[in-house]
A and B are shown apart, each in its own frame.
Chain A
Amino acid sequence: MAATASRSHASTRHDIFASVFPPPSFTTPTPETTPNIGVLASPGRPFGGFNITSPVFDDTIRFNRAWSTATRYLSLPLHGPPEQQTNLQVSHDVKDAMYHLCQDARTRKDLLAWYANETGVHFRQHVLPKLLGWQQPVPRAEAQALLARTMNVLGEAQEHYLQKPSALAGSASDSISGASFQSFRIKILERLHVQVLQSLPIPRLQDTLAGVFYQRMKASLGNNSNPEACLKRKECHCSLDMTGVPLAQLHEIGLGNAVAERAFAQAMHNLLRKAAIERRCFQVDWAEQATVVPMLRDWVNAYVTPFVDRSLAALTDNASPEMSDMEAARFAQIAVANLGRRRTAAIFEYVKSWPASTGAFLDIQEYLTCMPHDKVYVCDSFIKQAKTRLLHAGASTTEILSIYANVIHAFRLLDARGVLLEKVAHPLRSYLRGRDDTVAIIAASFLADIGPDGTLINADPDRVCADISHEVASSTLNAMEKGHKMLRFDDMNWVPDPIDAGPDYKASESEDVLAYVLGLFDQEDFIKEVTTVLAQHLLQTTDADYVKEIRLVELFKSRLDATKLQAAEVMLKDVHDSVSLNKRINPQSAKRDQGEPPTPRDIQAAIPEEGIALHSLYTQYEGRLKPAQFHAALRLVATKRHDLYFAKRTRLPPEPPPTSAPLSTAPADELDFRVQVLSSFFWPEMRANDFLLPPGFPAREQAFRQSFARLGNQRKLQFRHALARVDVRLEMGDRRVVEERDVPVWRASVIDVFARQAEGEEEADGITAERLMGLLRMEGELVLDALAFWTGKRVLYRPDSGMGRYAVLERLDMDTTHSTTTTTTTNQPPHHQHQQQPQHADTMISAVKTQDAMLKDNAPMFQAFIANMLRNGGPKEVGGVMGITGMLRMVLPVFTFGEEETGWLLGEMEGRGEVVRRGEVWSVGG
């Protein structure tokens, strides 16, 4: 207390001194620098002639006096820190002078200009150096601190500059002078604010402010949010505030108003674009698969709009800047649009994870309803993402197809009329058309088996698209029977064609995925491919009723041109006829259709250590054993605990000793021999390799031929041995029984050679592949496949001294060269999982000839055609209607290849000098 008193005393004294001894560097007020030396006495006065009072002269003096007094009072100490003068006494002459000056607008303006200059000089010298931080870019981390410092410095400076004007205003004796002093103060304040804004880089200031605002809002959102509660209640209660940023103070020091408002708007924009909608509350609803947009709208209305009102009020010192309803709705719209864009940015992911991502698509749908012009944006984003992420060599065709199916679902949700779908599907479709294997995969997918849980059964995931298979399984046959839309006058759901559709838009008649998938290709191409796959499938299927295949062909007939599916129908009829034919020719075979019933020992062996449910165990023997028999056998060998069956440890009654022969094909007359009679004209080209069959087969073939003829068939039979499949049962030396069902017959032929060789005790050290090829007159490819298969099954092995020979692995320990799996398990019976997985040769060697093989096989004939064409028709190009490819396709129905293959043929011929190429044109050589 004493200190301040003495200090104020000292400062008063300082004023006294200062009035006598002006401070050295002080720019002295005008009258003293140019002292008024008075005027000469008027010459007229002695005569008393003109009694003129001189008001101008008087005013000048008064003005000068007042100016001098006021400026001396107002002038700022230019050195040192601003002094804290708590108790400013304003003397009467100062008040009078100020009053005098403030009365007149002109003088007041001069005084303001002077004071502005005074503060400007001070500001530049003492304040600006403290704000140097604004001269370079402001790092985000320092923004808050810099802003606080700036507000501090500016606040102090402002207080300093306003100290005297405020004291003046406070000490006004009457209301008139008070009002004029107050307005003087306000004018000074405005000028100060202008000065502050002029001395700081506005854009940077605005950005920094926006950054700080944004950080604050985000932080407050983070602090106040409770996503769990929000999600539980299905509405968001995360509030916004601006604690930490004194908005009112900003306004006071001159950083409010336009700059801050713009900064606030910027921050708000960012908030709605990022932080607000990225929060947990507005994430894609994966669980309930609903849209979050209503929640977002509610939140904006309940929290954002009031917050904006509050903040703007503080920033502008305007008590009620109420937003209109329209502006509030606009906020909600912006938020929804941003949410939609955000979803769109990841739209490819959502398509991929369809249908779990239904929520995201509902969000986008809401977004498109509120911003209809952004449809293009959504389509473009998807196409762009698909192009970079999907439509390249790295993506497998099955993947693309399954995404295509998802796209169809997802975009149909966005726009039920399919306009958007047409737009986004186009690039996918054209890309899929360019892929060679698309048709084959689609056809295979139509025939694949789908388990109850939607996974593929027994199918190569690279060749079959599970989504399409699923669609097939769930589709209805009569999807196409809706009739023409325009003709149904009582259709209450009729809508006109969308206005934003392209000129080639036509309402799709069927709305399901299959229609789109089938529409990918030319019907003829597709049917051809389907026929091939169907042929393969019919030959391999075990279902004697062909339920699935019939359904599929019916499905195709309902969607494709039924007349073109003649081949498929004939194929179906062929296999059906074959079933009944076999029954007639071979009546007793039907009884053994399902294979031998299993022995209790087999069942015991099939029970895994961790137990097995009754049903899944029985499925293995379904058809081979009646349920009652099965139960009896099971009770013998297994115990039941908690619905699971476990193998009993007790010994089983001995079974009849197995036959001693290493290989026992069942006795000849019990051989179950079935033939499928196919109409070669309607079936695709089949593999026609021929070789010797195990003994017993040729005689049966002959017998079948005769019975077939006896039944009145005129057709000529030609046996395709390479397509035959057999069940093989091998009994090895260590009593290990190898049973294989549905083995291609060439494998049986090969193993049969080994069996007979073992009986004959000759060439005991094995047989080479070359010798097998000679013995069986079989192609190398098939022999090697069979050897690989049986080696994989550990039936054959290659002895150390083998020199490329193969021998029968009668006991597992004979194979010393084998890999580590046997060395670790030599003393244990071989478990199934220790055996090498056999190669899936079925996929490598298929029954139907591949296109490539057809091309290679027929190359000489095709080339003869080309040579003759060029000789007689003159030089031709490869492409075009009258080009080589087109002509070949026309004159030669077998030729189903493209220009690429023609090019290959021509290349070979060119190598032999048969043709010559001149530019694009080929002509006959020599």
Chain B
Amino acid sequence: MANTFGTMSTAPSSHGAKNASNPARAAGNGNVVKRLQSELMTLMTSPTPGLSAFPSNTDITKWNATVSGPAETPYADLTFKLTLAYPSNYPYAPPEVLFKTPVYHPNVDMSGRICLDILKPGGQGKEGAWSAVLNTSSVLLSIQSLLGEPNNASPLNGEAALLWDRDQAEYKKKVLARHQEPAEMEENGLSTGF
């Protein structure tokens, strides 16, 4: 299982914004950098409890994030690592967000991809709900609330969706079995970010 995650972390996303992974343009688009810098500044100066994010390296379009599980859900007291990759036309396209921590959740698949409407390109003729007014902080907040309120109508993980409705105790057991804290992940040789 651990190996699967390790290799899948580089799997291409089904969504657009392919050039986000192209480092050549990292410094090319000043607007993205400016926007990200200001987002970072807001995030730092008015932090939201339970959420934090920071650029992973010198490329400011790749961030690592940490989200703590919402209280009174099966995910309480757990820490989740995510990566955010911003496309060059951000904020007109959504960032690509992946769970690095193995998550047992109806809307998260085995490679950490998230099924969430705001993470899909929005606009006319598209099914997504991304909008340029959203930002890193709101994305992370949505993901955090998604943990406590899964959208069982369109599950990526059918078993989890079923179990969520039927047996919360069993569900929580599965969640804990799958989950690894960041420290454990590092011991197991999994990356927690970019």
Chain A interface residues toward B at CB < 8 A: 861, 864-865, 867-869, 871-874, 881-882, 886-887, 890-893
Query: Distance in Å from the Cβ of A721 to the closest Cβ of chain B?
Result: 26
Interface contact tally, CB-CB below 8 A:
57
Contacting residues of chain B (1-60) with chain A, CB-CB under 8 angstroms: 37, 40-41, 43-45, 47, 52-58, 60
Contacts known (A881-B58, A890-B58); A868 close to B193, Cβ less than 8 A: no
B193 pairs with A872, CB closer than 8 A: yes
Contacts known (A861-B45, A891-B37); A869 close to B193, Cβ less than 8 A: no
A872 pairs with B56, CB closer than 8 A: yes
Flag whether B180 is at the interface (Cβ < 8 A).
Answer: no
Flag whether B192 is at the interface (Cβ < 8 A).
Answer: yes
Flag whether B147 is at the interface (Cβ < 8 A).
Answer: no
Query: Distance in Å from the Cβ of A810 to the closest Cβ of chain B?
Result: 51
Contact of A864 (CB < 8 Å), options: B45, B53, B57: B45
B57 pairs with A868, CB closer than 8 A: no
B54 pairs with A872, CB closer than 8 A: yes
B44 pairs with A864, CB closer than 8 A: yes
Flag whether B99 is at the interface (Cβ < 8 A).
Answer: no
A874 and B63 CA atoms in complex are apart in Å by 12
Query: Distance in Å from the Cβ of B53 to the closest Cβ of chain A?
Result: 6
A874 and B191 CA atoms in complex are apart in Å by 10
Chain B residues with CB under 8 A of A886? 58
Query: Distance in Å from the Cβ of B56 to the closest Cβ of chain A?
Result: 6
Contact of B44 (CB < 8 Å), options: A868, A873, A881, A893: A868
A874 pairs with B52, CB closer than 8 A: no
Query: Distance in Å from the Cβ of B35 to the closest Cβ of chain A?
Result: 13
Flag whether B66 is at the interface (Cβ < 8 A).
Answer: yes
Flag whether B65 is at the interface (Cβ < 8 A).
Answer: yes
A873 and B194 CA atoms in complex are apart in Å by 9
B53 pairs with A872, CB closer than 8 A: yes
**B182 nearest in chain A by CB position:** A874
Extra 4 A-B pairs, beta carbons < 8 Å, given A868-B47, A872-B63: A868-B44, A873-B54, A874-B186, A886-B58
Chain A residues with CB under 8 A of B64? 872-873
Q: Report 24 cross-chain contacts, Cβ distance below 8 Å, ordered by A residue.
A: A861-B44, A864-B44, A864-B45, A868-B44, A868-B52, A868-B53, A871-B52, A871-B54, A871-B66, A872-B53, A872-B64, A872-B65, A872-B66, A873-B64, A874-B186, A874-B193, A881-B58, A882-B57, A882-B58, A891-B37, A891-B55, A891-B60, A892-B37, A893-B37
Chain A residues with CB under 8 A of B45? 861, 864
A861 and B41 CA atoms in complex are apart in Å by 9
Number of B interface residues at 8 Å Cβ cutoff, please give it.
Answer: 22
Chain B interface residues toward A at CB < 8 A: 37, 40-41, 43-45, 47, 52-58, 60, 63-66, 186, 192-193
Chain A residues with CB under 8 A of B41? 892
Chain A residues with CB under 8 A of B40? 865, 891-892
Chain B CB count within 10 A is highest, among A864, A868, A872, A873, for A872
**A886 nearest in chain B by CB position:** B58
Contacts known (A872-B54, A873-B54, A882-B58); A864 close to B63, Cβ less than 8 A: no
**B55 nearest in chain A by CB position:** A891
A881 and B60 CA atoms in complex are apart in Å by 14
A100 and B58 CA atoms in complex are apart in Å by 112
A868 pairs with B54, CB closer than 8 A: yes
B58 pairs with A874, CB closer than 8 A: no
Query: Distance in Å from the Cβ of A873 to the closest Cβ of chain B?
Result: 6
Chain B residues with CB under 8 A of A893? 37
A873 and B60 CA atoms in complex are apart in Å by 13
Contacts known (A861-B44, A864-B44); A874 close to B55, Cβ less than 8 A: no
Contacts known (A861-B44, A864-B44, A891-B40); A869 close to B54, Cβ less than 8 A: yes
A881 and B192 CA atoms in complex are apart in Å by 20
Chain A residues with CB under 8 A of B47? 864, 868
Contacts known (A864-B47, A893-B37); A873 close to B53, Cβ less than 8 A: no
Query: Distance in Å from the Cβ of B24 to the closest Cβ of chain A?
Result: 18
**B37 nearest in chain A by CB position:** A891
Chain B residues with CB under 8 A of A873? 54-57, 64, 193
A881 and B58 CA atoms in complex are apart in Å by 8
Closest 3 CB pairs of A and B: A872-B64, A872-B54, A868-B54
Chain A CB count within 10 A is highest, among B44, B45, B186, for B44
**B192 nearest in chain A by CB position:** A874
Query: Distance in Å from the Cβ of A94 to the closest Cβ of chain B?
Result: 113
A421 and B101 CA atoms in complex are apart in Å by 61
Chain B residues with CB under 8 A of A874? 186, 192-193
**A870 nearest in chain B by CB position:** B54
A874 and B56 CA atoms in complex are apart in Å by 9
B57 pairs with A872, CB closer than 8 A: no
A873 and B63 CA atoms in complex are apart in Å by 9
